[in-house]
Structure 1
Amino acid sequence: MSNVIKSKVRQLYHFLKEANQLRFRPVRVLGEQPKVVRLADMPSHPSMQVFRPVRVENTPEIPDTLLRIKRPTTTRCPAPPQTITSWLLPNWDDPSKAVAYAESLNATDDDDKTITILFDDDEQRVSDYADWIELRNAWVAPELAARKAMRFFEVFYDIYSTIEKDGEQLELLVADGHFSWQTTSGVDGLIVIDHPVLLKRIELRFDPNVPEFTIHETDREAELYGSLFVDLQDIAPATLQNRKSDLESSGYHPLGWEDTEAFLKAFIQTVSPLNGEFLNKPSTEAASTTPRLWRDPVLLLRKRVAGIANAVDAIIDDIDHRSMFPSSLAQITGTMDSWEGSGLSEGLGGSGSGTEQAAVIPPVVFNDDDILLAKEANDAQLQIIRRLNHSGSVLVQGPPGTGKTHTIGNLIGHLLAQGKSILVTAQTAKALRVLLGEVPKELQPLCVSVLGSDNDARGNWGPQSALSPSG
């Protein structure tokens, strides 16, 4: 019976995976991502630094700061002496252009007659020009490098502004292992893949006092961009599982050196053992029926929807290894009658591990006197609490302004009064900030961010937060 129930649960998550794929088609061409920055385009300038991970005794050592981009100092062109200023043609102060001067000028003599003066007629003028050109030439090369670095700095300012505006829908990643292939999709027909396969979430910070941007590590693990291959006819999903397991166990980083390169070489051979090619430098050719892969690290912004597929994949992989499941899945899959006798829910409130105990909390019968609320409540809210106590899960729906957030805030106070911990998740950080306002002020200090990746989220109300009665 337990195999039947596991099969139902597996079917449920496969349905969610397929529905997500139909709604959000994978981005298979790198240029279609919202923002892309090739690290190979980073200028060689003292204001720009990359810190790459190293592996010591088979253990990766990853620096907290991966990239540092200070605003470079630009300077003006040395001023020309007065003797040649009127002779110089426009753009003499542009380091990307050559200097030009007029070979002759018309002037008026003492008798108001027009005469022609040649530039070379005055030895002092010629000498002043030669001395100034020497100063200018010494200024040109470092100034060109500084201005190129400034344009790179401005790219990060644009990314930072985009994240500030739409950070709830976007995430920043470092990526490598550029994969190029023209193949067939079971959904879209003939497609082109032109995108990195090894991705890792990172964090962009800005210090206006320097000013500088820095790219930092997060606690998110590196991921294989499996959505590229979900509906390809020439690849069986099982063939990628070994590479995913290898990545999970070894922690390869997109900015890593030999170990990451070895992983990418193994990956291309997994995709196509006979025809796959690993190139030693980026290819400029269009994608072909021969799968190719090369190293070309980039930073990219992508929409967060890709995380849904990764989460569902992880759940599907975990189903066969679990011996217990939340009883709410029985309600969704229609197997409630078989659930209790299957053994899949035994011990879920007993003396097992902390994870298992947290999966389902056994029902406790409350009288209304046992419902402790910090804010006013109506009969509908009390009914929600009673039903949650008896069923383990409650779905609450309603249009804006009907009190859903107020109800959650009240429910948090009630559960804390019972000695329970509460995990609150939302699709956007804004929704959680609104919810925080509905939590009684006395309870707000108990909120701890457990998954927010940025410094501001640590210890505050972040995109995913937990409340604990112990604070």
Structure 2
Amino acid sequence: MTDAGDGREPDGRRARAGTAGRAADPDRAAAGGDRHGGDRHDKVLRLLQYLHDLARSRSALARDLDDQLGVIELADLGERWRADTAPGATIVTVGNRDAGDPASPYARLLRMYDEITEHPESLELVLASGLLTARSGDTRIRAHILTQPVLLERDKRGKSISVVLPRDSAPRFEDALLLAGLDGFDLSGSAELQAELRESVRTVVDPACARFTERWRSRAVTLDGARISPSPALVLRTRGSSPLLAFYDAMLAWASDGDRPLPPGLVQLIDAVEVDERLQMLADCGGAPPRQLVQDAYYVLPSNVEQRDILARMGSDSGVVVEGPPGTGKTHTIANLLAALLAKGQRVLVVSEKAHALAVLEDMLPPDLRKLVVSMTDVTQDGAASLAASVTEIATRKSTFSEPLIEAELKDLRGKRDQAIERREELMRQVWRLRSSESETSEWMESGYSGRPAEVVERVRADAPRYSWLPAPVSGAVPPLDTNEFGRLVSLLRRNSDLFARRLSHNLPDLGSAVPGFDRIEQLCAVVDRAPSGGDESGFAELRGAVDPAALAEIRARADAAAERLEVVRRYPDEARRLADDLLLGERGHVAGRLAGLDDVLAAAVADDEVLGGTRVQFSEVPGAPPARRWTAMRRISRVARHRGGGSAGRNRRTSRRPASKCVSTVRR
């Protein structure tokens, strides 16, 4: 990964290859960069010229098909191909028939597929036509002059291989590349034919290409015996070095200008450069200082101290080496450094031996940042489409760029970031305080717990079974009951019997229509609490004013009736109370069913008794007589009534002499 500077030049010249221009500075004569300026420029020029010549020597042209890595004529595929294939479509598909035969079309295509997959940076596959056969002096020529890049796509199940035309693929004339410098050829009209070819045909296997090649032969070839035929074929060959040579030419032109600073990387290839001089050279090339790179660095992925240290070192030297075995986060680190440098206005070039590593790095970037990546990887696939999409996205953003709008958005994002940083610092302080409190010993607890918080928690957990009866959790910072109230609650619970506990489960009638709601009762209680003591009834006057008179009268009447019935129930013996409790709990449903409509039956019985002239018995209060005796007397009188109703009166005297007869005050016949 290389920091390419911000691309701005004071003198208006455009930056190239990771360097930036600078204004002339006569004071730099004694500086490190110019101390050996002339000598270093000469050395750099000689180095670049050597690399240029080396690349040219290794890019010898294969003017004979026999010198290519692989050639398969379309006629040998045994399948019908489409001459009018549109970009992005399939030209021909070959099935895996006779795959075991090394000479079968599928096996030959599979070998090409494996080769170009293994070496995508150095090999290319082209669809070729227009086979030229000629001889110029001692040079034999047997090569196609029309080529077009194609792709090989293998079926996931391995049953077929397809030859696909990339979306940006176009036919091209290669006459100048093959025949330049040879006698017997006039290439002055090839540019015109190239433009006409691009406008008229979409593939080099189009039948119309035969007319172009024949016209070219008649105008460009002056050798006797030269002939040209369509002969369409798939050719696997070494990539040409024309782009590399053009790059070296541009570097030579740049280095030839003595006023421009040499890139530190080139200088270090031919001379030892001290740290101070390297820093000066970085500053001259527009590199940002380390403090500027590290300050407010924006990372798109989680970062650590080591990554921030790498960013600082990138500003303090011309190179940083980061080593580590696979899986230690090197790609993660590069993604963070790339984003941080772009946010600082720097340009970044990322290179790798394998295209897969660059694809993994690109996938790590956020979508908005990924759109700005100009990728030159994966040449075996249709990579030109993604390249065009990236360039289009960059051009669109540049055309729609509005500095005031971006500044406002940046200001808002910086504010949110500052708030997030403050929140993080506050949380860190809270964590620090909590961790500090873990080592403090507490002695103020009245419940008998003391020690460090962890020890208190352990004791509370150990005592949890003893207090499992509490209806936990008890929420709130303040307990709902203070110590005195809690003690009062415990005493009341201990005093109540099992009968009281059973009454808590009574099925009471719905009181929603008889009493005010909970909120209203709270308001009334608040009025009562505000009422002053000492007999002042102003608070109660406010209470009466806050309640509807009709509702107050209804409440009073219901309260009196409830008090009267409560007094009657209190006189019942224990047996009757238990019966009433069972009925309210729903445990004696059969009794409740028999009591339904009992009021009507009693009323009818009283009316019939009046008609028949029955005997009326009236009980009077006997001082000191317990309720149980009254209840016993009533039962005995009922037995006497049933006995007499059966026609027997012989035992009347014995019955009336029992102690219960003392409770009878008057018997009226």
TM-score (norm 1): 0.51
* Cα deviation 1:345-399 (Å, max 9, x = unaligned): xxxxxxxxxxxxxxxx998888352554556357775364578xxxxxx8x5979
Q: Distance in 1 between matches of 2:210 and 2:382?
A: 34
Match of 2:340 in 1: 414
Overall identity of the aligned pairs, in %? 20
Runs of at least 5 residues in structure 1 that lack an aligned partner in the other structure:
3-11, 55-60, 75-145, 185-189, 277-289, 320-327, 339-360, 388-393
Q: Does residue 429 of the first structure (1) align with residue 359 of the second (2)?
A: no
1:70 to 95, 100, 103: 95
Residue 333 of structure 1 is aligned with which of 239, 256, 260? 256
Whether the 8 Å CA contact 1:20–1:309 is kept in 2: the answer is no
Bigger relative contact order, structure 1 or 2 (CA pairs below 8 A, ≥6 apart): 1
8 Å Cα contact 1:170/1:301 also seen in 2: yes
Residue from 209, 224, 238 that aligns with 1:303 = 238
Residue 220 of structure 1 pairs with residue 153 of structure 2:
no
Distance 2:390 2:368 in 1: 12
Q: Give the count of matched residue pairs.
A: 314
Task: Identify the match of residue 49 of structure 1 among 80, 86, 96.
Answer: 80
Q: Is the 8 A contact 2:120 2:379 kept in 1?
A: no
- SS at the partner of 1:31? helix
Q: 2:186 touches 2:219 (CA, 8 Å); kept in 1?
A: no
Q: CA deviation at 1:29?
A: 1.1
Superposed, 1:105-254 pairs within 5 Å as 151-184=104-137, 190-209=138-157, 211-218=159-166, 219-225=168-174, 226-235=176-185, 238=188, 240-248=190-198, 250=200, 253-254=203-204
- Judging by fraction of residues, say which structure has more strand: 1
1:174 to partner: Cα distance: 0.6
Give the one of 245, 264, 267 matched to 2:216: 267
Give the corresponding residue for 1:94. Answer: none
Q: Which residue of 1 aligns with 2:312?
A: 382
- Is 1:369 matched up with 2:369? no
Matched AA of 2:152: L
After superposition, the Cα gap between the structure-2 partners of 1:331 and 1:14, relative to the gap in structure 1 and judged at 3 Å, is closer
Which deviations, in whole Å up to 9, do the C-alpha atoms of 1:414-471 show, x marking residues without a partner?
A: 23324778665556414525xx45x7946488436756566697999x9x9889899x
Larger radius of gyration: 2
Cα distance between partner residues in 1 of 2:341 and 2:200: 40
Q: Deviations along 1:39-82, whole A, 9 cap, x unmatched?
A: 12233xxxx3311117xxxxxx557110111234x8xxxxxxxx
208-217 vs 407-416, greater mean Cα deviation: 407-416
Checking the alignment, whether the CA contact within 8 Å between 1:423 and 1:467 is kept in structure 2 is no
**Aligned residues of 1:421 and 1:466 also touching (Cα < 8 A):** no
Cα distance per residue 1:179-226 (max 9 Å; x no partner): 122214xxxxx2211111111110111114472111101123333234
Counterparts in 2 of 1:318-357, with a 5 A limit?
331-334=254-257, 336=259
Matches within 5 A, 1:385-396: 385=315
Which deviations, in whole Å up to 9, do the C-alpha atoms of 1:270-315 show, x marking residues without a partner? 432x446xxxxxxxxxxxxx332211000011122x1x31676799
Aligned to 2:135, what secondary structure does the other structure show? strand
Instruction: Tell me if the contact between 1:227 and 1:309 (Cα under 8 Å) persists in the aligned partners.
Output: no
Q: Is this contact kept in 2: 1:173–1:201, CA < 8 A?
A: yes
Shift in Å at residue 255 of structure 1?
0.9
Q: CA 1:310 to 1:29, structure 2 compared with 1: closer, same or farther past 3 Å?
A: farther
The corresponding residue for 1:24 is 59
TM-score computed with the length of structure 2 as normaliser: 0.38
What SS does the corresponding residue of 1:50 show, helix, strand or coil?
coil
CA distance in 1, matches of 2:247, 2:220: 21
Stretches of structure 2 that go unaligned for 5 or more consecutive residues are 1-11, 13-46, 262-284, 398-669
The answer on whether the counterparts of 1:173 and 1:199 sit within 8 Å (CA) in structure 2 is: yes
Structure-1 separation of matches of 2:53 and 2:189:
19
